Amino acid sequence: MNQPMLIAIAGPPLAGKTTLGKNLAATLGIHYCDSDELRAAAFGVPTHEEYAKRWKNPTEAALITRKDMTLAYRLLHETVNLSLEADRSLIISATYASKSSQEFLLELVRTQEARLRFIICRVEQETDEELKRRMRQRDEGKKFVYGTQTLIDYYHVKGRFEWPHKTGVFSPDDLLIIDTSQSVERCVNLSLNFIHG
């Protein structure tokens, strides 16, 4: 039996994790699970109006967001555990903004004796205009909010972000950093070379 692989795609909000994950899943034929979609399915997500109202009080909104994401990570990690336990490879995406969440994921992979490929998405030319463009593109035609919707929310998450390649949790051989301002095709090809390498 082949050793299952976990392909974890991490990075700050709006970095292109979901786009890369869905494209890799289609190319590799491996199931894909996104933390925002899990959170939406399990707990619901606010409409754009509810989200705007929530962020009028950034302190309270940040606490609600953090609580929701803690629950989403629990669901995501249980999904990882069950998939690897069944010898099924899996692609996941989440910010993995804290060293503790990175450590927990690595322990799951080790316990299940799976292989790990950890891909970090980032936008090299990050400007407020580019972030707003990505928000509009992601949310176009959607009634509900999946992820960061305001620059305040974005900078809140980014401000506490612990970059996985700097925490020392993962082996450098298991890490790839991708600038997602490149074409989707280029990002997928770089990822595939890393996954198969």
pLDDT digits (tens, 9 = 90+) for 40-81: 787 777 776 777 787 788 888 778 777 888 888 899 999 999
Q: Report pLDDT digits (tens) over 96-151.
A: 989 999 999 999 999 999 999 999 999 887 888 887 777 777 766 665 555 666 77
Decide the pairing of beta strands 175-179 and 115-122.
Answer: parallel
CATH class of segment(s) 5-196: alpha beta
d(CA 113, CA 77): 15
Q: What is the pLDDT of residue 164?
A: 93
Half-sphere exposure of 2 (CA within 13 A, CB side): 6
Dihedrals phi, psi of 7, to nearest 5 degrees: -105, 110
d(CA 5, CA 51): 36
Q: Which helix (H) or strand (E) holds 128?
A: helix 128-139
